[in-house]
DNA sequence: GCGATGAATCGAAGAGTATCGATATGATAT
DNA sequence: ATATCATATCGATACTCTTCGATTCATCGC
């Protein structure tokens, strides 16, 4: 008999943080865009390797059409939830998805849902 | 080359509604409890088949220790998100997980995350 | 060091959510 | 029809979230 046990407090806290981050249409949209950066954003030439650092936040902001401060706090929320990683290269901050953490979230979700 | 396309508006709306429903610790807890009703709730004898209708909301409320109205609105949110189904048997309302819709959510999530 | 640029942080206002108690609605027994 | 019980809905309050513009912090070029 396989009794299903409740998830640990850490797991639930992580799940909650991710749910909260994604329970906003804009942040969900950004994470989707970041699945295919080349298709959704211009390449930021000569600044950094896009495969390594991802997309410049100014491009994300441009595409969203929201205030710079809003986009900054949104990306911070995604990063706090472990869904993206930020890399600063000079004045430029880039964000890419953290596929490992996303896979971890998916695994945790399978244990809980 | 497999280009990843954006999800449809209906899919995103559904995902959002689920994220919002689960972005609350109490509702997440209830959904986890409902994975294994027998382990988490007393059987409501002679009212209905628990495998068919699930758990009586009064038991959910008793275990949560929240106001009746709060629990009622929470279960409504879970149902609106398609995660549970309610069945009224006389005066008693029962909730069970909607495993099909949950599986659909998981599939959609895999397409989007 | 200064000025310009990029991004994080702050503060504020309006909208949304969590939660309660009160009330309305629905079901049942008499 | 009436009283009781179960639950949905309503209204209110406190808290959180969304979003903006202003400000501060970090980086760069001169």
- Could you tell me the CATH number of the domain that includes residue B30? 1.10.10.10
CA distance B102 to chain A (A): 7
Q: Which of A4, A38, A113 to mutate to test the interface with B (most CBs of B within 10 A)?
A: A113
Q: Which residues contact A107 (CB under 8 A, 6 or more apart)?
A: none
pLDDT for residue B44 is more than 80: no
> Could you tell me if residue B1 is inside a domain?
no
User: Is B5 part of any domain?
Assistant: no
Residue carrying the six token digits 């401060």: A69
Is 50 exceeded by the pLDDT of residue B19? yes
Answer yes or no: is A40 within a domain. Answer: yes
Is B24 among the domain residues? yes
Please indicate, yes or no, if residue A3 is contained in any of the structural domains: no
- Counting the structural domains of chain A, the total is 1
CB A93 within 8 A of CB A59: no
Asked if B19 and A19 touch (Cβ cutoff 8 Å), the reply is yes
In a domain, A79, yes or no: yes
* Pure H helices in chain B: 9-22, 25-33, 37-40, 50-53, 57-64, 68-80, 99-112
Average pLDDT over residues B94-109: 95
Query: Residue A95 corresponds to which tokens in the numbers above?
Result: 């964000």
The pLDDT of residue B113 is above 90: no
Q: Which residues pair with B55 in a beta bridge?
A: B95
Is residue B2 assigned to a domain? Answer: no
In a domain? residue A108: yes
Minimum-distance CB partner of B3 among A23, A36, A113? A36
pLDDT of residue A1: 42
Residues of B in contact with A110 (CB under 8 A): 106
The pLDDT of residue B5 is above 70: no
Instruction: Provide the ipTM.
Output: 0.89
Tens-digit pLDDT profile for residues A63-83: 999 999 999 999 999 999 999
Whether A24 CB is under 7 Å from strand C: no
Q: What is the mean pLDDT of residues B24-33?
A: 96
Q: Find the domain containing A13 and state its range.
A: 9-112
Q: Please identify every stretch of chain A with a pLDDT value under 70, giving residue numbers as ranges.
A: 1-7, 46-47
Q: Give nearest nucleotide to A23 (CA–C1').
A: D17
pLDDT for B52 equals: 81
- pLDDT at residue B51, as a whole number: 77
Residue B1 predicted with pLDDT over 60: no
Listed ranges B9-13, B40-44, B68-72; the one with the highest mean pLDDT: B68-72
Residues B14 and B108: beta-carbon distance below 8 Å: yes
- Strand C within 7 A of B106 CB: no
């Amino acid at each position: 008999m396989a009794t299903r046990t409740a998830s640990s407090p850490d797991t639930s806290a992580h799940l909650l943080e991710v749910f909260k981050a994604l329970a906003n249409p804009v942040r969900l949209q950004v994470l989707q865009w970041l699945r295919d950066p080349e298709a959704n954003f211009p390449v930021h030439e000569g600044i950094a390797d896009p495969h390594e650092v991802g997309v410049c936040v100014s491009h994300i902001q441009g595409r969203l059409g929201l205030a710079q401060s809003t986009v900054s706090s949104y990306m911070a929320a995604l990063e706090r939830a472990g869904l993206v990683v930020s890399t600063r290269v000079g004045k430029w901050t880039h964000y890419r998805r953290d596929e490992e953490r996303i896979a971890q979230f998916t695994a945790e979700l399978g244990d809980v849902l």
